[in-house]
Chain A
């Protein structure tokens, strides 16, 4: 006979009762009397401190804090914990689960997510990526750019070299070169709308057609390998993942890992673009050292503190330089 509290499910009244099981039938006696086959009762999961709850088909239930007695009663009657509950309450099971999770998360971050993002990005219809960043150039023109001061002849020259360069790579849609003068200094970047922006400052700094082609090759790599879409998919997945894991505790902490994890993806795509540029140069009979010279000229220009590796969007210059040799030797996957 075990003491328990009985609630009838229709009122909040507490009834003191006794509970026992005989030959597959449960008997409740005391303030309330009930006789019910054991298999019709729903028994709550075993918890360390919370009282066990035995629910009747009509919604009434018993609450019993006598864990030890109940355990004995139930094991005698053949009531067992489900597999999941056993796993939760077993420290070896929990440790195994924790290890598996860490492994899965790390592997997904390093390999699975980038791979699936690439697959998705490659198979999106051609126009979708182009429409991302619609209006970005107008925005930039309004705030950062002024018309290019490069002589038209020079511009046409560069455009022609670039067309020749990119002809060796089968592009589905044409890429437009956009020349601008800018207070942001020497820079080149690709827009998802299949335009590559070049600043006068960069053209003048490099002052060498082959080196310019190296830069354009790198930017072309961003477009052809769908880095924009990849990054969006990967960022979204990370945001969702960290919110799920840490959202319980604080929305701010959930944000911090997102930024750091995302920076790694940024460095990865920059590296991929470098590899693309190296292969494109080689295909066109140009030396990959051109890309190295670009890095050297740019870093001399900055003459500043190199950012901390984990907090930067590009791999460190040293790393990029040594990677060029590696990429030149690797087979061309493009």
Chain B
């Protein structure tokens, strides 16, 4: 191929591809777990690096792939600190209501900082075609978006949730950069409200349907509990109801994920380059539910396969629509981001992809 032909090929829509497989990842996952157990958790930092390097290196678009640069020692230091805190938190919460209040307060104060650091480090440690990503957002903005807005949302009984979601995504995406170029985000608050409406609408419609069909069993269960006369039919009716509710919630979650991922990426740009996300709810739900069944039936051994399946679908539904040449991005001189903070944020491993 001539350089010109390659150039032209590079300027047409580029679908993301993921070449990782469940069986290959299973090997990595199992050895990661074994070595982590044998080293009482110390190896887990290296395990995380291996895992991320595997997923990043297998993600490709436009003749380039991604790379993860996280440092295992930094991750380890932070994990030790964070695990100590986690144990303390768990013990306090289970022992006395008094401590719960204090712990919640501490978490509230630190959480936005952790989320902020987590975003910074994830981006700083990611690169595509050798050029690193970065994050410019300030701590103040982080506290506004990750603490203030959620608290306000709480007070409006979550009616403000879609608004807050949009603000958070806008903050994240507009302050993120690839090399010297910043992303932009034009998703509207209205779009988020629509997505939430559809999601919750479907959820309630289903719950009502379940209630109508299976509600009889529930009422019979209440009656027999009151009279202290166990009625096996009523008991099984009750469990069937609970089961149906769970299944429905499991089905709605992928619907919501689909709507949100599509919404967010269809409205994200990098300079003149656009993204398209084509997730289909039906396929997402199928993958989701079969994953859960698989993991339960194999007592967890299917987990790495499940992870790869879902990730592959989510990544390969994405397309990059170049608006100029993908060759034209320039790296930026990095000031070193503090390593220990990385490790601490890493333990809480916020998945902010929603």
Q: Which residues of A contact B282 (CB under 8 A)?
A: none
User: Measured between C-beta atoms, what is the minimum distance from A263 to chain B in Å?
Assistant: 16
Q: From A43-51, A201-209, A268-276, A320-328, give the one contacting chain B.
A: A43-51
Contact A249 B295 (CB under 8 A): yes
Q: Which residues of B contact A79 (CB under 8 A)?
A: none
Contact B28 A88 (CB under 8 A): yes
Q: Work out how many contacts link A and B, with CB atoms closer than 8 A.
A: 154
Contact B331 A10 (CB under 8 A): yes
Tell me if A309 counts as interface (CB < 8 A to partner B). no
CA distance in complex: A87, B34 (Å): 11
As a 0/1 sequence over residues 1 to 45 of chain B, the CB contacts with chain A under 8 angstroms (1 = contact) are: 001001000100000000111001011101101110100000000
Tell me if A127 counts as interface (CB < 8 A to partner B). no
Take A97-B30, A249-B303, A304-B228 as given contacts and tell me if A12 and B179 are in contact as well, using a CB distance cutoff of 8 Å: yes
Q: From A155-163, A164-172, A240-248, A279-287, give the one contacting chain B.
A: A240-248
Q: Which residues of B contact A89 (CB under 8 A)?
A: 24, 27
Chain B interface helix/strand/loop/mixed: helix
Take A47-B58, A49-B19 as given contacts and tell me if A101 and B27 are in contact as well, using a CB distance cutoff of 8 Å: no
CA distance in complex: A133, B291 (Å): 40
Take A11-B330, A253-B296 as given contacts and tell me if A248 and B96 are in contact as well, using a CB distance cutoff of 8 Å: no
Tell me if A132 counts as interface (CB < 8 A to partner B). yes
Tell me if A305 counts as interface (CB < 8 A to partner B). yes
CA distance in complex: A85, B34 (Å): 13
Q: Which residues of A contact B87 (CB under 8 A)?
A: 236
Tell me if A147 counts as interface (CB < 8 A to partner B). no
Tell me if B131 counts as interface (CB < 8 A to partner A). yes
- By beta carbon, the residue of chain B nearest A243 is B86
As a 0/1 sequence over residues 57 to 99 of chain B, the CB contacts with chain A under 8 angstroms (1 = contact) are: 1100001110100000000000000000011001100111110
Tell me if A250 counts as interface (CB < 8 A to partner B). yes
Q: How large is the interface on B (under 10, 10 to 19, 20 to 34, 35 or more residues)?
A: 35 or more
Contact A94 B37 (CB under 8 A): no
Contact A63 B296 (CB under 8 A): no
Q: Which residues of A contact B96 (CB under 8 A)?
A: 131-135
CA distance in complex: A246, B24 (Å): 18
Contact B327 A14 (CB under 8 A): yes
CA distance in complex: A9, B291 (Å): 38
Q: Which residues of A contact B90 (CB under 8 A)?
A: 236, 239-240
User: Measured between C-beta atoms, what is the minimum distance from B50 to chain A in Å?
Assistant: 8
Tell me if A230 counts as interface (CB < 8 A to partner B). no
As a 0/1 sequence over residues 1 to 29 of chain A, the CB contacts with chain B under 8 angstroms (1 = contact) are: 00001011111111010000000000000
Tell me if A258 counts as interface (CB < 8 A to partner B). no
Contact A253 B131 (CB under 8 A): no
Q: Which residues of B contact A7 (CB under 8 A)?
A: 64, 129-130
CA distance in complex: A229, B330 (Å): 57
CA distance in complex: A89, B21 (Å): 12
Contact A47 B64 (CB under 8 A): no
Take A12-B129, A133-B95, A236-B91 as given contacts and tell me if A50 and B230 are in contact as well, using a CB distance cutoff of 8 Å: no
As a 0/1 sequence over residues 229 to 267 of chain A, the CB contacts with chain B under 8 angstroms (1 = contact) are: 000110110011000011011101100000000000000
Tell me if B307 counts as interface (CB < 8 A to partner A). yes
Contact B24 A232 (CB under 8 A): no
Q: Which residues of A contact B300 (CB under 8 A)?
A: 245-246
Contact A305 B230 (CB under 8 A): yes
Which among A45, A49, A84, A245 is the interface contact of B20 at CB below 8 angstroms?
A49
Which among B57, B95, B131 is the interface contact of A44 at CB below 8 angstroms?
B57
CA distance in complex: A141, B327 (Å): 72
As a 0/1 sequence over residues 88 to 102 of chain A, the CB contacts with chain B under 8 angstroms (1 = contact) are: 111101100110110
Take A84-B31, A88-B27, A249-B291 as given contacts and tell me if A14 and B86 are in contact as well, using a CB distance cutoff of 8 Å: no
Q: From A53-61, A175-183, A216-224, give the one contacting chain B.
A: A53-61
CA distance in complex: A13, B130 (Å): 9
Take A9-B331, A88-B31 as given contacts and tell me if A60 and B130 are in contact as well, using a CB distance cutoff of 8 Å: yes
- By beta carbon, the residue of chain B nearest A52 is B57
Contact A48 B303 (CB under 8 A): no
Tell me if A104 counts as interface (CB < 8 A to partner B). yes
Tell me if B171 counts as interface (CB < 8 A to partner A). no
Tell me if B111 counts as interface (CB < 8 A to partner A). no
Contact B230 A12 (CB under 8 A): no
Contact A53 B67 (CB under 8 A): yes
Contact A240 B86 (CB under 8 A): yes
- By beta carbon, the residue of chain B nearest A60 is B130
CA distance in complex: A98, B300 (Å): 11
Q: Which residues of B contact A9 (CB under 8 A)?
A: 130-131, 331
Contact B329 A11 (CB under 8 A): yes
CA distance in complex: A89, B277 (Å): 33
Take A93-B31, A135-B96, A248-B303 as given contacts and tell me if A53 and B131 are in contact as well, using a CB distance cutoff of 8 Å: no
Contact B330 A10 (CB under 8 A): yes
Which A residues form the contact surface with B (CB < 8 A)? 5, 7-14, 16, 44-45, 47-51, 53, 59-61, 63, 84, 87-91, 93-94, 97-98, 100-101, 104-105, 131-135, 232-233, 235-236, 239-240, 245-246, 248-250, 252-253, 304-305
